[in-house]
Amino acid sequence: MLLLFFTVPLPSFLYNNLSSQLQLISSEIGVWFIRQFGISVYLAGNVIDLGSMQLQVVEACSGLRYLFPLMTLAFIVAIFFRSAWWKKLLIFLSSIPITVIMNSVRIGVIGVLVEYWGTSMAEGFLHDFEGWVVFMAAFAVLLVEVWLFALFSKTRLGFGVIFTPGFPAKKTSHEIVSIAKSHRVPGPFVASIALLLLTLVASLVLPNRKEVIPQRALLSDFPMQIGEWHGRRKLMDTMYVEALKFDDYLLADYKKEGSPPVNFYIAYYDSQRKGASAHSPRSCLPGGGWRIDDFDQKTIKGVKVNGVPLRVNRVLMSKGGERKVVYYWFQERGRNITNEYLVKWFIFWDSLMKNRTDGALIRVTASVPEGYSLKKVERFLDQFLANVVLYIGGYVSN
């Protein structure tokens, strides 16, 4: 029964966060592997720069497609392995580092092949075939681990013997009839059948609820002149639009005299029921090579949204000699939320109580140029938010 757990996909926000972390780890180990062959390579986030080509370790290469199948196989192996419980547990848990290391080796091997035999080594059938070979190798490593446990055990059982399940002795027909008569139908079984029938009837009788999609203005009409701030609209690359799956977005640079440019971004979702939801900048930014130096929360003085003081996540990040400050929050059906996990809870709750799951991620970013202090740049961000929040309400539903 526990095996069925592996058939259930992770919630999207957990999957995305786990995937982004695995991408970074796999990229770092993969680059280390490439350098062992004397190849010059540069790593920026999850982008591996070989000079002649850049390899991007995307979500599909994070290792999650290895991890869940290998964990499932490790679970089955552990169940059948006739040994101590702690050995079973070690076999199951070892599938995680095996996956990470073998996936990193795969990325490293692709980098080496690309360096010597060209970009075709990272594309099409060869790319997929390499993935299959490495997965089978990962499973072989798992079996070698079991073999070593058996080899150094006191009993020294053969490889075939340790996987032989123990079956109960056969019973006579008289014993079977006697056991059947002495057993009643279990209460939990009756309760489960009753619950299933009740759910079936309810699903047939109750009408299908159509999700409420509130009316609002399109972000393409968002003003480019806000007080002293003059904006210039930007277009997002198609690959990012397809990955983020929002229904509407705004990306623009605003500037006023004496201030560095402030990048303003809104990703709006009409519905977040089916996995399309706001991606947290905290998990996405490191993929571009940015390092998060500081992360905390901040209340913007004198600024209110939906009648409450605006509280934002504040991120200070750096790459090379460049520094940036990021403020972001989630504006969801009249709530201003900074916690990514609370966002998911309120999506669930509001889908039940309000039949709504619309919402938006709102982010402002500014670089810290030479001659500007961090506090000065943050003051400009605070001033920009004080002006822009007055306009957001018509474009993000409350």
DSSP string for residues in 27-69: HHHHHHHHHTTT---EEETTEEE-SS-EEE--GGGSSHHHHHH
* Token code pair at residue 4: 């069925």
Nearest C-alpha neighbor of 64 from the set 105, 23, 24, 27: 23
Residue 134's pLDDT band (cuts 50, 70, 90): confident
pLDDT digits (tens, 9 = 90+) for 198-218: 988 887 776 677 888 888 899
pLDDT of 126 over the 70 cut? no
Query: How would DSSP label each residue in 233-285?
Result: E----HHHHHHH--SEEEEEEEE-TTS--EEEEEEEES--TTS--PPPHHHHG
Q: Tell which phi-psi region holds residue 355, choosing left (phi > 0), alpha (psi between -120 and 50) or beta.
A: left
Give residue 50's pLDDT. Answer: 72
Give residue 181's pLDDT. Answer: 60
Q: What is the mean pLDDT of residues 79-90?
A: 84
Q: What is the mean pLDDT of residues 171-175?
A: 66
Residue 319's pLDDT band (cuts 50, 70, 90): confident
Least confident of 49-63, 120-134, 246-260, 315-329: 49-63
- Distances in Å between the Cα of 187 and the Cα atoms of 42, 176, 194, 200, 345 are 63, 22, 11, 20, 33
Helix (H, G, I), strand (E, B) or coil at 315: strand
For the chain, what is the mean pLDDT?
81
Give residue 161's pLDDT. Answer: 58
- Length of the chain equals 398
Give residue 328's pLDDT. Answer: 92
pLDDT digits (tens, 9 = 90+) for 25-78: 777 888 888 888 787 777 766 677 776 666 666 554 556 777 888 889 999 888
Give residue 354's pLDDT. Answer: 86
Least confident of 153-157, 183-187, 232-236, 332-336: 153-157
State what percent of residues in the chain have pLDDT above 70.
81
CA 17 to chain centroid = 3
Give residue 196's pLDDT. Answer: 92
Residue 157's pLDDT band (cuts 50, 70, 90): low
Tell me the whole-structure pTM to 2 decimals.
0.67
Q: What is the mean pLDDT of residues 318-332?
A: 88
Distance CA 193, CA 172 (A): 31
State what percent of residues in the chain have pLDDT above 90.
14
The amino acid that residue 177 corresponds to is V
Give residue 254's pLDDT. Answer: 92
pLDDT of 183 over the 70 cut? no
pLDDT digits (tens, 9 = 90+) for 261-316: 999 999 999 888 776 777 777 767 666 667 888 888 888 888 888 788 889 999 89
The H or E element containing residue 133 is helix 124-151
Distance CA 351, CA 32 (A): 46
